[in-house]
Amino acid sequence: MGVDFHLQSKQLHSEDFARYNETEQLRPRYVKFDPVALQRVAANAVGRDRCLLITKLAEGGFNKIFLLATDDGREDIARIPIPIAGSPHYTTAREVATINFLRNVFGLPVPRILAYSTSSNNSVGAEYIIMERVQGESLASRWLSLTTDEVKHVMT
């Protein structure tokens, strides 16, 4: 099923052409979950009455990222792994273990895990991680502007 390379130039640059095979490409990234249940889990994890807002922040290579805001203004993050992220259960378990190890053993300022499930057999209907939202700038946003010495410092 190749692309017809005899398409006119106008077609090659159209938005419709960019969506060629879009449904098939997006299917492996689809995760069915209950956002209301995710809000309940998040509110419960931080001892709040309710979570008023859930907003999708991003979708990376491995997770869908949501901002959760409680009734008192607290903001946390929910991560829901997409199916192509890796083996169910192990991907989430490995991420939680790594974050907790970095925080508890090395004392690195990584977000605290508030709640998680390594199974989709829960009220949310999907694996999830709920963690603190940390303020600051991501390493990824600064990486290309770092000097060689700064990169060495980060890597060692």
- Residues 59-85: pLDDT tens digits? 888 999 999 999 899 999 999 999 887
Neighbouring C-beta atoms of residue 62, cutoff 10 Å: 14
Residue spans of the domains in the chain: they are 32-135
Measured distance CA(134)–CA(41) in Å, rounded: 19
- Give how far the C-alpha of residue 76 lies from the chain's centroid of Cα atoms, to the nearest Å: 12
Domain 32-135: which topology? Phosphorylase Kinase; domain 1 (3.30.200)
Per the CB < 8 A criterion, the answer to whether 133 and 67 are in contact is yes
> How does pLDDT run across 97-154, given as a tens digit for each residue?
999 999 999 999 899 999 999 999 999 999 999 999 998 888 888 999 999 999 999 8
pTM for the full model?
A: 0.77
HSE, side-chain direction, 13 A CA sphere, residue 71:
7
Residue among 31, 45, 58 nearest 126 (CA): 31
**What is the average pLDDT across 31-56?**
95
For 73, the 3-state DSSP assignment is coil
> How does pLDDT run across 2-30, given as a tens digit for each residue?
555 555 555 555 566 666 777 776 777 78
Measured distance CA(156)–CA(153) in Å, rounded: 5
| pLDDT computed for residue 83 by the predictor | 86
| pLDDT computed for residue 4 by the predictor | 52
